[in-house]
Structure 1
Amino acid sequence: MPKTLNDEQARGAGTAASPAASPAQRRAARLGRGGQHRILWLLGPALVAGVAYLDPGNVASNMTAGAEYGYLLVWVVVAGNVMAWLIQYLSAKLGIVTGKSLPELLGLRIRNRHARRSYWLQAELVAMATDLAEIIGGAVALNLLFNLPLIWGGVITGTVSMVMLAVQTRRGPRVFERVVISLLAIIAIGFTAGVFIAPPSPEGVLGGLVPRFEGTNSVLLAASILGATIMPHAIYAHSALARDRFEVRASGLTTKRLLTATRWDVSIAMVIAGSVNLAILLLAAANLQGVAGTDSLEGAYAALHDSMGAVVATLFAVGLLASGLASTSVGAYAGAEIMHGLLHVRVPLVARRLVTLIPALLILGSGFDPTQALVLSQVVLSFGIPFALVPLVWLTAKAGVLGEYRNRWVTTSAGAVASVLLITLNVTLLVLLFGG
Structure 2
Amino acid sequence: MTRDVVARSAARAAAPGPRVAWLVGPALVAGVAYLDPGNVASNMTAGAGYGYLLVWVVVLANVMAWLIQYLSAKLGIVTGQSLPETLGRRIRNRWARRAYWLQAELVAMATDIAEVIGGAVALNLLFALPLVWGGVITGLVSVGVLMLQSKRGPRTFESVVIALVVVIAVGFTVGVFVAPPDPGGVLGGLVPRFQGTDSVLLAASILGATIMPHAIYAHSALARDRFAPHLPHEDLEAGRGIGTARLLRATRWDVTIAMAIAGTVNLCILLLAAANLQGVAGTETLEGAYAALRDGIGPVVATLFAVGLLASGLASTSVGAYAGAEIMHGLLHVRVPMLARRLVTLVPALAILALGVDPTLALVLSQVVLSFGIPFALIPLVRLTAQRAVLGPFRNRVITTVAGIAASVFLIALNGVLLGLLITGG
- Give the TM bin, normalised by the shorter chain: over 0.9
| C-alpha contact (below 8 Å) 2:119/2:310 kept by paired residues | yes
1:121-270 superposed matches below 5 A: 121-244=102-225, 245-250=227-232, 254-270=243-259
TM-score (norm 1): 0.93
1:320 aligns with 2:300: no
1:107 aligns with 2:68: no
Q: Letter of the 1:236 partner, please give it.
A: Y
Distance 1:88 1:349 in 2: 25
| C-alpha contact (below 8 Å) 1:40/1:261 kept by paired residues | no
Percent identity of paired positions between Structure 1 and Structure 2: 76
1:273-352 superposed matches below 5 A: 273-352=262-341
Q: Letter of the 2:67 partner, please give it.
A: L
- Structure 1 residue 12: deviation in Å? 5.3
Give the corresponding residue for 2:398.
Answer: 409
Gaps of 5+ in 1: 1-6, 16-27
Give the corresponding residue for 1:11.
Answer: 5
- How many residue pairs are counted as aligned between the two chains? 415
Give the corresponding residue for 2:383.
Answer: 394
Q: Letter of the 2:230 partner, please give it.
A: V
Q: Letter of the 1:380 partner, please give it.
A: V
Instruction: Summarize deviations over 1:261-320 as a string: whole Å, max 9, x none.
Output: 100000000000000000000000000000000000000000000000000000000000
Instruction: Summarize deviations over 1:222-265 as a string: whole Å, max 9, x none.
Output: 00000000000000000000112011223997001110110000
- Structure 1 residue 30: deviation in Å? 8.3
| Partner secondary structure for residue 282 of structure 1 | helix
| C-alpha contact (below 8 Å) 2:79/2:391 kept by paired residues | yes
Say which is worse superposed, 105-114 or 382-391, in terms of deviation.
105-114
1:35 aligns with 2:15: yes
| Partner secondary structure for residue 195 of structure 2 | coil
Gaps of 5+ in 2: 234-239
Instruction: Summarize deviations over 1:100-136 as a string: whole Å, max 9, x none.
Output: 0001111111111111110000000000000000000
| C-alpha contact (below 8 Å) 1:249/1:258 kept by paired residues | no
| Partner secondary structure for residue 232 of structure 2 | helix
Distance 1:101 1:29 in 2: 21
1:66-105 superposed matches below 5 A: 66-105=47-86
| C-alpha contact (below 8 Å) 1:46/1:238 kept by paired residues | yes
- Structure 1 residue 348: deviation in Å? 2.4
| Partner secondary structure for residue 254 of structure 1 | helix
- Structure 1 residue 36: deviation in Å? 3.5
| C-alpha contact (below 8 Å) 2:10/2:247 kept by paired residues | no
| Cα gap change, 1:174 to 1:30, in 2 (>3 Å) | farther
| C-alpha contact (below 8 Å) 1:166/1:350 kept by paired residues | no
Instruction: Summarize deviations over 1:142-198 as a string: whole Å, max 9, x none.
Output: 000000000111111111111111111111111000000000000000000000001
Distance 1:317 1:422 in 2: 31
Between Structure 1 and Structure 2, whose CA radius of gyration is higher? 1
| Partner secondary structure for residue 420 of structure 1 | helix
- Structure 1 residue 29: deviation in Å? 8.8
| Cα gap change, 1:94 to 1:74, in 2 (>3 Å) | same
TM-score (norm 2): 0.95
Give the corresponding residue for 2:348.
Answer: 359
